[in-house]
Structure 1
């Protein structure tokens, strides 16, 4: 079968791999679409410390069941359209014992610590397969990236009394915007790209700020009547936005950090203590987040042209990755069609 492989930093190519073996508890999937994630871009650029090479990327999956192991339950059937929870969990670490499987100490994510889904077929444990026949093939590939933002809003305990400011309007930030808006919060979207801010507005943001061309502090103060947002979500992975989140969030506010910054970030501890802030990390997503995104996509049917920047063939995936690497802020989501 054909697969897309990142052989080493800066080198991506099509390779031939054997069909995966299907264990008794496994499901063999025929892959339809896989999204390129920011972690895949980091792998290509040689900036992902969790990756060894060569690596097949991909964990944003749209697929169809084609073979079932002999111990797979009857709830799964050949021909069902599915997506996949791409994380492992050990069941024994402190996170797993609290049922916070997304933060498992020993997690291995498809396409990161182990080979991913950018191939014609992939075998996965049946417990990680989510049936979503109500979604089309492209929607299925958008489920996982949206769940990460949904999970962050859950961590922040957002309600309709909150004002939520989201730094970074890529797919992760888009998920946070959607979830916060659907919970009735006032949402402020911050980015340096006007096109992404336009999308954010259509996804439910009440206000937008281009922090490159507008004064962030003045705009936030005006929008929040001098208080600042009660919740700040850092989904950009940039030292400047990490600091801005702490500076702009309200007293007694919550700061949720999703993005991985390329360098360590000096934290203004005076503001952390003086404001009595809750600063928390947010990693991956739980099954409930997947269910919430599937429900959102099936009942709302957002305009996919807003979320998907490019759909490319396997043959053009390598060129698209190189194009994305040259201008990472210009594209929201790239899907590879198998």
Structure 2
């Protein structure tokens, strides 16, 4: 069967690979849609330090069960499923503390393991969630939205708090919807004015264009002049990672779901004097996936605004080229298999 393969030193290309076979504890998934992630784009550019090349990308997967192993009872042939793309070792400190999403030895589909840009994929039965109430396009959005929801949970948001979300990619939109569903007043920030409509459709009450407006001045007016209680950074730039500490209120919380590609310098006195809680957020848990599915079933996500374009598998390489040429025009590309 056909698969898209990315090599670090040459353009993406298609190749034929053997069809997978599932054992008694596995499920054969017919992949119907795969979302392209920023990590996939970085892999395509050759700049993802976590990727094991050559790599079949793709970890945002919606599909249908084609076959189940003899020992599988959690799903059946014909069920629609979303794939849980990360592994956990069960023995590291993160796993032992009940946070397998932060497993020290995690391997993600399309990064350290061959991914889902193929028509058939074998997964362990506990790595698929059945959801027959949603279509496969919606299911392909669940993973990145779950990463956003996990970041919002890490912030421990209270009803009525001002929450600032930096970045309106799909993960940022996942944060916005989750924070709004928790009762927060959400301010979205992005450099591209084309993201305003989708951010507000996800639940943001205010949008700030950081290219044309004074972010610090506007955020300083929130909460009777105290500033936002929570800032969640979903961009991964050194400048915005540093800015989050500057603009959050005293005794506030900062959550980083984006990571910079170079070292970040903090004024330690700033976050000590403010007595900030600064937290990282990585991947998502099964509970997060189920929560996003529930929100999706309630039509809390503007799917038609989130999906920017569809490409068939045989044009997946062209999708990367288009996205790289104008990142601001793309929120999410789905590859149709």
Bin of the TM-score, shorter chain as denominator length: over 0.9
- Give how far 1:50 is off: 1.0
So what's the TM-score if we normalise by structure 1? 0.97
Q: Which residue of 2 is the match for residue 181 of structure 1?
A: 180
Given that residues 10 and 44 in structure 1 are in contact (C-alpha distance below 8 angstroms), is that contact kept between their aligned partners in structure 2?
Answer: no
Partner-residue secondary structure (3-state), 2:28: strand
Given that residues 177 and 301 in structure 2 are in contact (C-alpha distance below 8 angstroms), is that contact kept between their aligned partners in structure 1?
Answer: no
Q: Which residue of 2 is the match for residue 70 of structure 1?
A: 70
Q: Which blocks of at least 5 consecutive residues in structure 1 are unaligned?
A: none
Q: Distance in 2 between matches of 1:76 and 1:306?
A: 31
Q: Distance in 2 between matches of 1:297 and 1:271?
A: 39
Q: Distance in 1 between matches of 2:19 and 2:246?
A: 52
Given that residues 89 and 104 in structure 1 are in contact (C-alpha distance below 8 angstroms), is that contact kept between their aligned partners in structure 2?
Answer: yes
Partner-residue secondary structure (3-state), 2:225: coil
- Give how far 1:329 is off: 2.9
Q: Which residue of 1 is the match for residue 168 of structure 2?
A: 169
So what's the TM-score if we normalise by structure 2? 0.98
Q: Distance in 2 between matches of 1:21 and 1:243?
A: 48
CA RMSD of the aligned region, Å?
Answer: 1.1
1:236 and 2:212 matched: no
Given that residues 88 and 100 in structure 2 are in contact (C-alpha distance below 8 angstroms), is that contact kept between their aligned partners in structure 1?
Answer: yes
Q: Which residue of 1 is the match for residue 126 of structure 2?
A: 127
Q: Distance in 2 between matches of 1:143 and 1:197?
A: 21
Partner-residue secondary structure (3-state), 1:184: coil
Q: Distance in 2 between matches of 1:10 and 1:312?
A: 22
Q: Distance in 2 between matches of 1:267 and 1:119?
A: 43
Q: Distance in 1 between matches of 2:160 and 2:301?
A: 25
Q: Which residue of 2 is the match for residue 56 of structure 1?
A: 56
- Give how far 1:142 is off: 0.4
Partner-residue secondary structure (3-state), 2:224: coil
Q: Which blocks of at least 5 consecutive residues in structure 2 are unaligned?
A: none
Q: Which residue of 2 is the match for residue 250 of structure 1?
A: 249
- Give the 3 Å change call, closer, same or farther, for CA 83–211 of structure 1 in structure 2: same
Q: Which residue of 2 is the match for residue 88 of structure 1?
A: 87
1:148 and 2:147 matched: yes
- Give how far 1:324 is off: 1.1
Q: Distance in 2 between matches of 1:78 and 1:21?
A: 15
Q: Which residue of 1 is the match for residue 11 of structure 2?
A: 11
Q: Distance in 1 between matches of 2:246 and 2:301?
A: 33
Structure 1 segments (4+ residues) deviating >4 Å? none
Given that residues 88 and 108 in structure 1 are in contact (C-alpha distance below 8 angstroms), is that contact kept between their aligned partners in structure 2?
Answer: yes
- Give how far 1:301 is off: 5.7
Q: Which residue of 2 is the match for residue 160 of structure 1?
A: 159
Given that residues 100 and 285 in structure 2 are in contact (C-alpha distance below 8 angstroms), is that contact kept between their aligned partners in structure 1?
Answer: yes
Q: Which residue of 2 is the match for residue 202 of structure 1?
A: 201
- Give how far 1:282 is off: 0.1
1:305 and 2:304 matched: yes
